[in-house]
Structure 1
Amino acid sequence: MIKPVLSTYKILKEKAFNSDIDESWVDWALEMMQAGFESDSLYQLAGISKPYNQFELQDLTNKVLKELHLDYSDKESAIRNYVYYLISNAIDAPEKYLETLRELKNICIDLDMAKEYMDFYLLYFAKDDLLEIGSQHYWDGADSANIDTIIKEQFGLWKQQFEAEIKS
């Protein structure tokens, strides 16, 4: 069985929250085709261009996900998988830390300041303040010299916990 591409996590999170369909869906469809997935609806999605008709695209993406047996009904799971995807792509790329933390901060806010994502919220503002003004008051002991190490450690801890939960 072919395994979906990593960006599928983002797509399922977007679908779970009924977000607008954009070019990232077209890119995902192309990636899935390159990975070996085949479906008439997937081919159709890969060929869509602007301007996007959201009503038609919502129906089309529902068909694509159904044909590929990809479930997005569990929002919590879709979010956790997406966070795993984000962290996996950024953990060894400090240049992506601020962008990744911004997305994680937004997830935390969207989920009414969910405790599970609160550290990422605080780390985002700590890193942002360190870049902007050279000091921060969000994360004890964090400074410009060690903030990336702290972020990598927190990413690693979250990823390790997620993987342990998957195995159990």
Structure 2
Amino acid sequence: MKAVASTAEVLVYKILKRHNEKGWVNWAYEMLVAGYETESLLILAGMRGNLEYFEMWTLTDKVLKELEIDYADQNKVITGYISYIAQRVLSGMESPSVALSILKNLYFDLDHEPLLSDFYDLYYAWEDLQHGEDQWYVAGVDRSNIDQAITACFSNAELLR
């Protein structure tokens, strides 16, 4: 069995040390539907209401350990998340501008992570072209081809899997 796609998002939240209680619970449910089952996964999928940060952190760590899902390699986690976001864009589940914004924010959250720099540049190129004729972030990109440049970047990123 292969972990569900949203595992990439769960792992990014773990490396950022951020709480995402609803996302973690939804992920646990998706994993159960996909055929995974551990005691901790069942508990996590059934969590409701206001959840305590440290309890959720410990429980998600326990689930990941039981499922043998490692998030120690930050580059691998980031690459997997980029691929996950790219797949969402290419399948129409996420708008390119929202996806670029998510990855741009992650670029800052991870202290200018080089794996995210192309998305940072494309986000600001796209943003500049929404308000004017020129952008200085991506060479050769203007209003006539920004959409193709974004699609190409996400297409290349989707291949990272």
Q: Deviations over 1:121-153 (max 9, x none)?
A: 01111212323x143412233333321111111
The Cα of 1:12 is off from its aligned counterpart by: 1.3
CA 1:124–1:20 in 2, change beyond 3 Å: closer, same or farther?
same
**1:94 Cα offset (Å):** 9.2
CA distance in 2 between partners of 1:94 and 1:16 (Å): 24
Paired residues in the alignment total 160
How much has 1:95 moved relative to structure 2?
6.0
DSSP 3-state at the match of 1:158: helix
**Deviations 1:14-45, CA, capped at 9 Å, x for gaps:** 11222113201111011111111111111111
Aligned ranges for residues 1-168 of structure 1 at < 5 Å? 2-93=1-92, 96-131=95-130, 133-137=131-135, 138-160=137-159, 162-163=160-161
Name stretches of at least 5 consecutive residues in structure 1 with no aligned partner: 164-168
- Alpha-carbon distance in 1 for matches of 2:7, 2:94: 23
Equivalent-residue separation in structure 2 for 1:69 and 1:75 (angstroms): 16
CA-atom RMSD, angstroms? 1.9
Sequence identity percentage: 38
- In 1, are the aligned partners of 2:38 and 2:66 still within 8 Å (CA)? yes
Distance in 2 between the 1:92 and 1:148 partners? Answer: 15
Distance in 1 separating the partners of 2:104 and 2:7: 21
Q: Hey, what's the Cα distance between the residues in 1 that align with 2:117 and 2:66?
A: 36
Structure with greater contact order relative to length (CA < 8 Å, sep ≥ 6): 2
Unaligned runs of 5+ in 2: none
Is the CA contact 2:88–2:94 (under 8 Å) kept in the aligned structure 1? no
